[in-house]
Structure 1
Amino acid sequence: MHPRLLKTFLAVARSRNITRAAEAVHLAQSSVSDQIQSLEAELGAALFTRSKVGLELTPAGQALKPYAEEMLMLADEARAAVHATTGHTSGALAIGALETIASARLAPWLPGFQAGHPGVTVRMKVADSGTLLRQLEDGDIDVAFCFGRRDVTNGASDERLARRTIAAEPLVLVASAGQGTAPCDLAALAARPFVATEPGCIYRHLFDTAFAEAGVEAPRLAAEVGSIGAIARLVAAGAGLGLVPRLAVSDALARGELIEMPWPGPMQTAPLTMIWRRRRVQPPALRQLLAAAGDTLAPATSRGETGSGLESADHSKALFPNNS
Structure 2
Amino acid sequence: MDITQAQTFLAIVECGNFIEASKRVYVTQSTVSARIKSLEEQLGKPLFIRSKGGCELTPAGQQFYRFAHSMVRIWEEAKHHVAVPEGYEDTLIIGGQYSLWNRLLVQWVPHFQALMPNVALRCSIGMPARLIREMGEGVMDIAVVYQPEQRPGMHVEELFDDQLILVTTDLSIPLHKNYIYNDLGETFRSTHAAAFPDLHNPGLTINLGAIGVNLVIRNKGAAYFPRRIVQDYLNKGVLFKIETAPEFSYPAYVVYQEEFSTPHIMESALSSLRDIANMAQTGDLPPPFWQKLISK
SS of the residue corresponding to residue 164 of structure 1 reads strand
- In structure 2, how many angstroms separate the alpha carbons of the residues matched to 1:293 and 1:244? 21
Amino acid paired to 1:209: T
Amino acid paired to 2:117: P
Contact 1:195 1:224 in 2 (8 A): yes
Contact 2:164 2:227 in 1 (8 A): yes
How far apart are residue 192 of structure 1 and its match?
5.7
How far apart are residue 164 of structure 1 and its match?
1.6
1:169 paired with 2:162, answer: yes
1:10 paired with 2:6, answer: yes
Q: Aligned ranges for residues 57-206 of structure 1 at < 5 Å?
A: 62-63=61-62, 66-72=65-71, 90-148=89-147, 158=150, 160=152, 161-176=154-169, 179-181=170-172, 193-198=178-183, 201-202=184-185, 205-206=187-188
- In structure 2, how many angstroms separate the alpha carbons of the residues matched to 1:93 and 1:115? 14
1:263 paired with 2:243, answer: yes
Deviations 1:77-111 (A, max 9, x none): x99xxxxxxxxx94222211011211321112212
- In structure 2, how many angstroms separate the alpha carbons of the residues matched to 1:123 and 1:40? 36
Which of 209, 234, 243 is equivalent to 2:191?
209
- In structure 2, how many angstroms separate the alpha carbons of the residues matched to 1:72 and 1:284? 24
SS of the residue corresponding to residue 129 of structure 2 reads helix
How far apart are residue 113 of structure 1 and its match?
0.6
Contact 2:166 2:241 in 1 (8 A): yes
Give the total of aligned pairs: 252
- In structure 1, how many angstroms separate the alpha carbons of the residues matched to 2:241 and 2:190? 18
RMSD: 4.5
- In structure 1, how many angstroms separate the alpha carbons of the residues matched to 2:207 and 2:163? 21
TM-score by structure 1 length?
A: 0.59
Give the structure with the higher percent helix: 2
- In structure 2, how many angstroms separate the alpha carbons of the residues matched to 1:158 and 1:281? 21
Contact 1:167 1:299 in 2 (8 A): no
Unaligned stretches of 5+ residues in structure 2? 12-20, 49-54, 79-87, 282-296
Q: Aligned ranges for residues 23-38 of structure 1 at < 5 Å?
A: none
Unaligned stretches of 5+ residues in structure 1? 22-28, 49-55, 80-88, 184-188, 302-324
Amino acid paired to 1:169: D
- In structure 2, how many angstroms separate the alpha carbons of the residues matched to 1:269 and 1:57? 37
Contact 1:172 1:243 in 2 (8 A): yes
SS of the residue corresponding to residue 197 of structure 2 reads coil
Instruction: State the partner residue of 1:236.
Output: 217
Which of 269, 277, 284 is equivalent to 1:297?
277
SS of the residue corresponding to residue 250 of structure 2 reads strand
